[in-house]
């Protein structure tokens, strides 16, 4: 899979910081906004694996917004965070199209586990294994093998390799790799992609599978120009 990407909508600065920090600490790519108009814009521009909504926001009730979201056919999994703990509130959240409901205060590990669960559910239809030449990328187990040998990759290395694998034999721009593998804190002008590709090449070994497309980015291919 590409980096798991989550949108957090929370107007309380301290709580938003805590939620975002916990999710990023577990290796997720997280974008954050404070109100529904900003959430609407983010969801229009970016495809998320999960959205974490504070239920009551100054700009409105997120329950109504999610209900409208479902009416338009948007299927992004939604986790509601709320201080409203009555059974009828939880039922209303699910009826509006929410996928999970977590009452404040909550334990951060539980939040991370629930978000991870929703993200896995959203990606369950993804191809479990990508193969190219003697390279095998198992997205379900998050394992990579070359010529049958298991390789150890970091989360970011795995995410970048999978993006390239889903677009095998195509040039993938650096900006797209940053968009899909990092959150909004990354600087598109930085050399983070080049550094990560260099690390990946060393781990994948020879003959090289990741090729530089000058002026564009990189492509994953069994044959082609050199590094």
Per residue in 96-145, pLDDT tens?
889 999 998 899 999 999 999 898 876 655 557 888 889 999 877 778 99
- E strands, 105-168, where? 129-132, 135-138, 143-146, 149-151
pLDDT digits 0-9 by tens, 181-213: 876 665 655 688 889 999 999 999 999 999 999
- Give yes or no for residue 154 having a pLDDT over 60: yes
**Would you state the pLDDT for residue 122?**
66
Kindly state the helix (H) or strand (E) to which residue 7 belongs, with its residue range.
Answer: strand 5-9
- Can you give the pLDDT at residue 185? 61
Q: What is the H or E stretch that residue 67 is in?
A: helix 62-71
Domains, the chain: 5-122 (3.40.50.2300), 129-220 (1.10.10.10)
- Tokens standing for residue 131: 């193969």
| CB contact at 8 A, 1 and 139 | yes
**For the whole model, what pTM was predicted?**
0.58
**Six-digit token string for 193:** 């992609």
Overall average pLDDT of the 147-169 stretch: 88
**What pLDDT does 21 receive?**
94
Which range, 14-23, 118-127, 169-178, is most confident?
Answer: 14-23
């Amino acid at each position: 899979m590409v980096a798991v990407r989550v949108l957090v909508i929370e107007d309380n600065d301290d709580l938003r910081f805590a939620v975002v920090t916990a999710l990023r600490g577990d290796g997720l790519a997280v974008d954050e906004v404070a109100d529904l108009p900003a959430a609407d814009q983010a969801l229009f521009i970016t495809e998320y694996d999960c959205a974490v909504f504070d239920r009551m926001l100054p700009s409105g009730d997120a329950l109504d917004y999610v209900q409208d979201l479902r009416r338009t056919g948007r299927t992004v999994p939604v986790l509601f965070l709320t201080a409203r703990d009555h059974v009828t509130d939880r039922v209303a959240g699910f009826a509006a199209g929410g996928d999970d409901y977590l009452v404040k205060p909550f334990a951060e590990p539980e939040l991370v586990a629930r978000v991870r669960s929703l993200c896995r559910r959203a990606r369950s239809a993804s191809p479990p294994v990508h193969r190219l030449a003697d390279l095998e990328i198992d997205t379900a187990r998050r394992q990579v093998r070359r010529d049958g040998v298991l390789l150890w990759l970091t989360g970011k290395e795995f995410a970048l390799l999978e993006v390239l694998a889903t677009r095998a034999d195509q040039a993938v721009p650096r900006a797209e790799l940053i968009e899909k593998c990092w959150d909004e804190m990354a600087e598109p002008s930085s050399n983070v992609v080049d550094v990560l590709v260099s690390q990946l090449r060393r781990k994948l070994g020879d003959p090289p599978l990741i090729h530089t497309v000058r002026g564009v980015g990189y492509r994953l291919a069994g044959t082609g120009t050199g590094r």
